A and B are shown apart, each in its own frame.
Chain A
Amino acid sequence: EIVLTQSPATLSLSPGERATLSCRASQSVSSYLAWYQQKPGQAPRLLIHDASNRATGTPARFSGSGSGTDFTLTISSLEPEDFAIYYCQQRSNWPLTFGPGTKVDIK
């Protein structure tokens, strides 16, 4: 099973700041990595698929990069609605696995 590690666990930032979230895989997942946003009481929302492709409706301030084992989700300038938990997911191997999440909260 591929284990995903996300860092930091919590990121405390102010609106307008840049957020950089990391996801590391225990073995290569090529570019088969996705990022999700989840707000309290809501289902997860797909933001990025295949490491760097924005899903339909994902604002341009969200960008994904990386390949192999190291991936980054960047939010260029945090909007109030961006404070949430972010999960990465690998789709390279069965079983599909999610990382433990990074909580982005308001400083």
Chain B
Amino acid sequence: EVQLVESGGGLVHPGGSLRLSCAASGFTFGGYAMNWVRQAPGKGLEWISYISSSDGTMYHADSVKGRFTISRDNANNLLFLQMDSLRDEDTALYYCATQGFDFWGQGTLVTVSS
């Protein structure tokens, strides 16, 4: 059974940093690209980051470019999102999702507030 479990969310002040993790199991993690998608409270879905399975290709949404960095550890089946220079508008539930968005975690909540 495919499982994605996000962690690392919490309350952070504007300008602060957080590192989100997504632990994957039940599939060959290293063979699949991965994504991060976020959802602000009561709002729609926003794709924010993509990383390829092994060659390091990454894409980020303009809203997070230069502040967020996606990475992965294929040996330990982990996906990461390093979030720096956080803003109020980054407050959201952050989901990791597989390459085709066919599997999603349950999300980890990031709250940016002073």
Give the interface of A toward B (CB within 8 A).
1, 34, 36, 38, 43-46, 49, 55-56, 87, 89, 94-101
Q: Mark B74-105, 1 if CB is under 8 A from A, else 0.
A: 00000000000000000000010000111011
Q: A residues within 8 A CB of B106?
A: 43
Q: Which residues of B contact A38 (CB under 8 A)?
A: 45
Which residues of B have CB within 8 Å of A101?
44-45
Decide: A46 and B44 in contact? CB cutoff 8 A: no
Contact A89 B101, beta carbon cutoff 8 Å: yes
Given A1-B62, A43-B95, A43-B107: A98 in contact with B102 (beta carbons within 8 A) = no
Q: What would 16 A/B residue contacts be, using CB atoms closer than 8 Å?
A: A34-B101, A36-B101, A44-B37, A45-B104, A46-B100, A46-B102, A55-B102, A89-B101, A94-B50, A95-B47, A95-B59, A95-B61, A97-B47, A98-B47, A101-B44, A101-B45
Residues of B within 8 A of A56 (CB): 102
B30-68 CB mask vs A (1 if < 8 Å, else 0) is 000001010000001111001000000001111000000
Q: Interface range on chain B: under 10, 10 to 19, 20 to 34, or 35 or more?
A: 10 to 19
**Cβ distance B43 to chain A, nearest Cβ, rounded Å:** 9
Residues of A within 8 A of B105 (CB): 43
Q: Which residue of B lies closest to A90 (CB)?
A: B47
- What separation, in Å, do the CA atoms of A44 and B101 have in the docked complex? 9
Q: Which residue of B lies closest to A6 (CB)?
A: B44
**Which residues of A have CB within 8 Å of B35?**
96
Taking a contact as CB atoms under 8 Å apart, the answer to whether B62 and A96 are in contact is no
Quick one: given A36-B101, A56-B102, A95-B62, are A44 and B107 in contact (CB under 8 Å)? no
Give Cα distance in the complex from A83 to B97, angstroms. Answer: 23
Q: Chain B residues near A87 (CB, 8 Å)? A: 44-45
Within 8 A of A (CB), among B8-47: 35, 37, 44-47
* B61: min CB distance to chain A, Å: 5
Residue of A nearest to B100 (CB): A49
